[in-house]
Amino acid sequence: MLSVGEKFPQFKVKATVSNDLNTAFVDIDNNTYKGKWLVVFFYPKDFTFVCPTEITGFAEVNQQFVDRDAQILTGSTDSEFVHHAWRTHHKDLNSLPFPMLADVKRELTSALGILDKNEGVAQRATFIVDPQGIIRFVYVTDLSVGRNPAEVLRVLDALQTDELCPCNWKQGEDVIKVA
């Protein structure tokens, strides 16, 4: 699995961005959000139980990521059409504010090293990528355990200070100064 300090891999995937079939699908690659922080989180499968809780959790705090010049991207190994059906038919996903990546060829998940060997789907992995394309944070949980979007936001805040941040540090608190 790629880790902190490594370059996020080159990619180009279809993404679902709306429920309107005329505008639902776009291509997204490394240059789509050039110069922004990226928060890229993968989940195992559409139409499951834990995954929509995480996706809606990130959607609820999306504006806080936008305020920090960060773009959220979510994705799985499902197709853009499956994403569209799920968005359309799941009330909590109907108006997601961020793209759903469709890594059907499993190229991005394989390049990141997060393709689950037993299930053949994306692991529940999160990456924070800085504007230069360097991975600065990796967070992976068991397929059965959802993530905490507030913790991902807290880590983004800490990374953006470019300072030493103690355990449980929150935006606005003192950072560690070494004399």
Enumerate the active-site residues: 51
The 3 state secondary structure assigned to 20-58 is: CCCCCEEEEECCCCCCCEEEEEECCCCCCCCHHHHHHHH
| Separation between Cα atoms, residue 29 and residue 82, nearest integer Å | 20
Per the document, the length of the chain is: 179
Q: 108 near 85, Cβ under 8 Å?
A: no
Backbone angles phi, psi at 38, to 5 degrees: -115, 140
Closest of 67, 2, 91 to residue 40, by C-alpha: 2
